[in-house]
Amino acid sequence: MTQKIPLSWLQLTREKTRLAVALSGIAFADILMFMQLGFRDALYYSNVRMHSSLKGDIVLINNQSNAVLAMKPFSQRRLYRALDLPAVESVHPIYLDYTSWKNPITGRPRSILTFGINPEVNVFDLPGVEENLDKLKMPDVVLFDRSSRVEYGPIAADFDQGKNVTAEVRRRRIKVAGLFTLGASFGADGNLITSDVNFLRIFSNRQTGLIDIGLIRLKPGADINQVTEYLRTYLPTDVNVLTKEEFIAFERNYWATSTAIGFIFTLGTIMGFIVGTVIVYQILYTEVTDHLSEYATLKAIGYTQNYLLTVILQEAFMLAVLGYIPGFACAIFMYQVARDATLLPVFMSSYRAIMVLILTILMCFISGAIAMRKLRSADPADIF
């Protein structure tokens, strides 16, 4: 029994060169969408890794703070007032600020984000912090983020080799006593963690007690949302009271709506969709035009317009799937290249893979539906 080959497949494969061009165009559009969405998600994820790592339930920040990139200090007395609530177990002030790190090899300065914490309590759920807390009690000692960019110097490599690693931070000589892992972001290429005392030594212009983040831990069983709502009325309005999840969303929303970066990546994705739609339309339009007489013959022998529409949409679906496969493979490779070059978390996710596949199919279906307008002019009377 012979197997019937779909008419749509026969039409697509009749012109091999045209098919290759079409698949290349779809793959290019997919790569463009993958890269834009990948960078956008890396933007959001990298800038909230610190927020996600906080070992607490509620966060206090100055109500004028927009993001970690532009934090405003507030009095830690606001934070300690939260201890009046029976549901609060402990509070932990966190200092943060950007300063200049001088590469110990080249001497070139580079901005680095520095956190100051009480070394008696670990407030970060990050690899390398817990085991190195006691070292921060020594003067002029810091922990260095091993995932920082290479422009800071071979700090992690030298430390792993047992070398004595020192550097100049804000014209002050400091010693790297340990490594932790946080990662670069769009807001910071590198990170340091030190004690609150050392932080105030480095940032001599900062006033003791003016903190940037207040972290609150609740007792087991406490209702986080209820305590958060109460604190919003209990504390003065100069502080913003957020749950940990709201703090993450707060930072993410800043990068999505208050900066041009999020808009640019979204616009790039839309442009990729439009480019792919135009390419597929040109291919399908040419297919319909070249076979217009054949379509008219099919109409003459009784095939309906809907059947011919099905053939065109089948071609569009085949193009979408066949073009998506090389686009997906190339995107994974380019993610690896981008990750190695920028140290940003550019990874393929199943959600993004499915979303781009759906966009590709939709893109091809739209092109097919537009190309169908030409098919309506296939009049059987024209060939008889």
Q: What DSSP letter does each residue of 89-132 carry, written as one string?
A: EEEEEEEEEEEEEE-TTT--EEEEEEEEE-TTS--B--TTTGGG
Task: Summarize the confidence of residues 116-135 as an average pLDDT.
Answer: 95
Question: pLDDT at position 2, please?
Answer: 47
Q: Answer for the pair 109, 124: CB distance below 8 angstroms, yes or no.
A: no
The single residue listed with the structure tokens 């970690």 is 68
Structure-block tokens of residue 231 = 């604190």
Q: Is residue 1 over pLDDT 50?
A: no
Structure-block tokens of residue 311 = 């053939």
Q: Answer for the pair 81, 239: CB distance below 8 angstroms, yes or no.
A: no
Residues in the chain: 384
Q: If DSSP codes are grouped into helix, strand and coil, which group holds residue 28?
A: helix
Provide, rounded to the nearest whole percent, the portion of the chain with pLDDT above 70: 91
Question: pLDDT at position 285, please?
Answer: 77
Question: pLDDT at position 108, please?
Answer: 92
Q: Is residue 141 over pLDDT 60?
A: yes
Question: pLDDT at position 303, please?
Answer: 64
Strands (E), the chain: 58-62, 74-75, 88-102, 109-117, 141-145, 166-169, 172-180, 191-195, 210-211, 213-218, 239-243
Q: Which residue has better confidence, 276 or 94?
A: 94
Name the least confident of 173-182, 236-245, 291-300.
291-300
Q: What DSSP letter does each residue of 249-267 carry, written as one string?
A: HHHHHHHHHSSHHHHHHHH
* Reported confidence tier of residue 143, pLDDT bands at 50, 70, 90: very high
Query: Cα–Cα distance between 293 and 383 in angstroms, integer?
Result: 7
Query: Cα–Cα distance between 324 and 361 in angstroms, integer?
Result: 9
Q: Is residue 378 over pLDDT 60?
A: no
For residue 3, give the DSSP letter: P
Work out the number of other CB atoms within 10 angstroms of the CB of residue 115. Answer: 25
Query: Cα–Cα distance between 262 and 32 in angstroms, integer?
Result: 15
Name the least confident of 21-25, 106-110, 155-159, 280-284.
280-284
- How far CA 65 is from CA of 14, 70, 190, 235, in Å, comes to 62, 6, 21, 17
How confident is the model over 37-67, as pLDDT tens digits?
A: 998 888 888 889 999 999 999 999 999 998 8
Q: Is residue 281 over pLDDT 90?
A: no
Rounded to two decimals, the pTM is: 0.80
* Reported confidence tier of residue 380, pLDDT bands at 50, 70, 90: low
Residues forming a β-bridge with 172: 169
**Side chain identity, residue 190:** G
Question: pLDDT at position 7, please?
Answer: 67
* Reported confidence tier of residue 357, pLDDT bands at 50, 70, 90: very high
Question: pLDDT at position 70, please?
Answer: 85
Query: Cα–Cα distance between 325 and 293 in angstroms, integer?
Result: 33
How confident is the model over 18-36, as pLDDT tens digits?
A: 788 888 888 999 999 999 9
The single residue listed with the structure tokens 């607490």 is 56
Mean per-residue pLDDT of the chain: 88
Question: pLDDT at position 202, please?
Answer: 94
H or E element that contains 231: helix 224-234
How confident is the model over 186-212, as pLDDT tens digits?
A: 888 999 999 999 999 999 999 999 999
Task: Summarize the confidence of residues 304-314 as an average pLDDT.
Answer: 76
N-term to C-term CA, the chain:
35
**Residue closest to 273 by CA, chosen among 35, 26, 20:** 26
The single residue listed with the structure tokens 């914490």 is 117
Q: Is residue 182 over pLDDT 80?
A: yes
